[in-house]
Amino acid sequence: MITTIDQFKESWRKESDSTRKMLAELTDESIKKELVSDHRTLGRIAWHIAQTIPEMLGKTGLKPEGPKEDEPVPDTAEKIRNAYDVAAGSLLNQVGEHWSDETLQVEDDLYGEKWKRGMTLRILIDHEIHHRGQMTVLMRLAGLKVPGLYGPSKEEWSQYGMKEPEI
């Protein structure tokens, strides 16, 4: 659980930057292509990440800007990236302006449960990480570069003067 606003800000900046790295690799073609039958496309997952910020935090009384739940997936990767940037930045501002370390203990009704606001922020971050993991698999299937987020990706080992791990 997030226990201080500063802790959230530090985590959110790092994780939203990681999400931006993933989104930067998407192409207009890749967001539309069905890579696995009966599963979300890359575009749908990326859009879901952006939509969840105002949807989830709106349930706490905050009003972060961003795409509405019922908005369809945009037709370009750039529109997804821009919407994510708006939502992620707006959330950071909203939390900083309207919440304090003490209000992170307030409970809100989310999805039929009572969640402390600090837990809501942690779940939002974990939710984003979860979907980025799904995206890496689809990005590989789409032939896109997968950026290293917590260490070098397969494509990045050579940038560190290292040999790729054996497969």
Rounded alpha-carbon distances, angstroms, from residue 122 to 3, 20, 75, 104, 117: 10, 18, 30, 11, 9
Mean pLDDT, rounded, of the chain = 95
The answer to whether residue 167 scores a pLDDT higher than 80 is no
- Radius of gyration of the chain, Cα coordinates, nearest whole angstrom: 17
Residue 118 — very low, low, confident or very high, per pLDDT cuts 50/70/90?
Answer: very high
**How many alpha carbons lie under 13 Å from residue 21 in its C-beta half-sphere?**
18
Residue 14 — very low, low, confident or very high, per pLDDT cuts 50/70/90?
Answer: very high
At 158 the pLDDT is 80
User: CA angle, corner 50, sides to 136 and 10, nearest 5?
Assistant: 80
What is the separation of C-alpha 86 from the centre of its chain, rounded to a whole number of angstroms?
Answer: 12
Helical segments of the chain, H only = 5-24, 28-32, 42-58, 77-98, 117-141
Q: What is the pLDDT of residues 62-77, one digit of tens each?
A: 999 999 999 999 999 9
- Over pLDDT 70: what percentage of the chain? 100
Mean pLDDT over 108-133 rounds to 97
Q: Give the residue, 163 or 108, on which the prediction is more confident.
A: 108
Structural domains of the chain sorted by starting position, each given as residue range(s) with its CATH number in brackets? 5-160 (1.20.120.450)
